[in-house]
Structure 1
C-alpha cells in the first residue's frame, strides 16, 4: 500500500461538493424560461398550469423566507443568499407569462413563524424539502425545458434544505 490512509475520514457530503452540485444542476436547467418541447394542444396547457403552480409555490416559499427574516433578523446573513435564489426561481417561472392573480393574494398571507431560530430554520428546511419533492414528482408530467427547469430548482431546494439544517453545524 503506497499511500497511508487519511488520518480523518470526512463524514457525509461535504458542503462544497453539495454547493457545486446544486450550482451545476441550476446551470444545466438555466433557471430561465424557454420554449417547451411540447407542441400545441394538451401539453401546452399542462405545462402552463405546472409553470403557474411552480411560480405560486416559489412565491409562497419566498413569503416564508420574508416572514422568518422579519421575525428573526439575526438570521439575515445566513438566509439572504437562499432567499435571493428563491426570488430568482420565481422570476424564472413567471418569465414570459402573465402573473396569476391568486399568486399575489397567497403571497400576502403571513405564515406562522416559530419563536426560536432553530425551529424557524427547521420549518424553512421542511418547506424547501417538501417543495423539492413535489417538483421532482412533477417532472414526469411536463415537457422538456420546463422539466429541466423544475429539476434544477428542485435540486437547489434540496441543497437549501441541507444548508438550513446542516449548514450551521
Structure 2
C-alpha cells in the first residue's frame, strides 16, 4: 500500500523558518537603505556615493559653462546648443547641484563670477564653429565615459542615474558631431 501524505502536510517553508529569516532580512534591508541614503552629516567624511554625486554635479556645471562659452563665441549656434545646455543643467540639478538658470541665446551665464569665467573661457573657444563643436563633443564624451566608469561602484539609484545621464551625454556627442 502506497504512503499518502496526510491532508495537514504543507508545502513551502515552515513558520519557524520564516520567523528566523524575517528579522535578519529586515536588518540587512535597513542597513543597506541607510548606507545609500546617508548624507555627509552622518559622518566626518562624505560617503563614496556623495563624492560621486558631487563630482557628477561639478562635471555638469563645467559642461554648462563650456556651452555658455561656445554660445558666446558663436551666437549662431545658440539655437542648436541651447536645448543641449538646458539638459546639462537638468543633469546638474539631478545630481544635487545648484544649477545656474538657463541663459538667453547669445549671452554668457548670469552672475558676476559666471560672467567672468565665461568671458575668460570664450578666448579658449576655437574660432571655427566646427572646431568649437568638436571640442564640446570631446568634453561630453569624456564626462560620459567617466560617469560610465563611476557607475560600477555606485549604489542602485545613483548607478541608474549615472547610466541615464551618460547615455544622454553620448546622444549629445552624436548630435554635436552630425553634419
- What TM-score do the two structures reach when normalised by structure 2? 0.63
Q: Does 1:140 align with 2:138?
A: no
Q: What does residue range 10-159 of structure 1 map to in structure 2 within 5 Å?
A: 38=36, 45-94=47-96, 109=117, 110-111=120-121, 112-159=124-171
Cα gap change, 1:155/1:74 in structure 2, threshold over 3 Å: closer, same or farther?
Answer: same
Report the TM-score, using the length of structure 1 for normalisation: 0.66
After superposition, the Cα gap between the structure-2 partners of 1:148 and 1:63, relative to the gap in structure 1 and judged at 3 Å, is same
2-structure distance, mates of 1:107, 1:60: 13
| Compared CA separation, residues 88 and 39, structure 1 to 2 (3 A) | closer
Q: Are residues 82 and 45 of structure 1, via their aligned partners in 2, closer, same or farther at CA, if it must alter by over 3 Å?
A: same
Consecutive unaligned residues of structure 2, counting only runs of 5 or more, are: 1-32, 99-112
- SS of the counterpart of 1:65? helix
TM-aligned CA deviation for residue 141 of structure 1: 1.1
* Shift in CA distance, 108/51, structure 1 to aligned 2, threshold 3 Å: farther
Q: Contact 1:37/1:144 (CA < 8 Å) preserved in 2?
A: no
Residue correspondences, number: 125
The equivalent residue for 1:12 is: none
1:38 Cα deviation after fit: 2.6
Larger radius of gyration: 2
Residues 122-164 of structure 1: CA distance to partner in whole angstroms, max 9, x if unpaired?
0000000010000000001110111111000000000000100
- Offset at 1:39? 6.3
Q: CA RMSD in A?
A: 2.6
| Runs of 5+ consecutive residues of structure 1 not aligned to the other structure | 1-34, 98-104
CA pair 73-106 structure 1, distance change in 2 beyond 3 A = closer
| Displacement over 2 Å in runs of 4+ | 35-42, 105-111
* Secondary structure of the structure 2 residue equivalent to 1:141: coil
Contact 1:55 1:90 in 2 (8 A): yes
